Amino acid sequence: MNIKIVVVGKLKEKYLKQGIAEYAKRLSKFCKFKIMEVADEKAPEKLSNSEMEQVKIVEGKRILDKIKDKEYVYALAILGKERSSEELADELQKLGTYGHSDVTFVIGGSLGLSEAVLERANTQVSFGRFTLPHQLMRLVLTEQIYRGFMINAGRTYNK
């Protein structure tokens, strides 16, 4: 299975890079894993609604350029469906079983995802109603993907 995370923006925090690198190394036993960064659109602090939409549209085009037609796409969205670790593990296993060996997760920038990205997604997933920095979300998501593979392998990590 190929797992890819497409994210907006660069990761600067060393401690987050180290955590992600550790889980990426662990994931290498189960799948091909990679993270692809796309540039975030520079924007002033105060934006009108139409300016915010324009930023999301530009970032969305960059995201969609990294997604191939055959990929099964999870968009991380606060209004998406919440799943337990076990439910995500089960979905990943079923995707692999039924021919979706290329799975992509998308994390938007600070303003969220464009409508075009949400429409391209096969499903939306929420990690709850908390607002988390998208940089931290990379680590949380990477850990949950690893946890899913461990659950599917019957390993005790998930306890």
Q: Which residues are annotated as a binding site for S-adenosyl-L-methionine?
A: 76, 108
| CA distance linking residue 18 with residue 79, whole number of Å | 29
SS3 per-residue string spanning 13-55? CHHHHHHHHHHHHHHCCCCEEEEEEECCCCCCCCCCHHHHHHH
* Sheet strands side by side (includes 102-107): 32-38, 2-8, 102-107, 72-82, 123-126
Residue list for the binding site: 76, 108
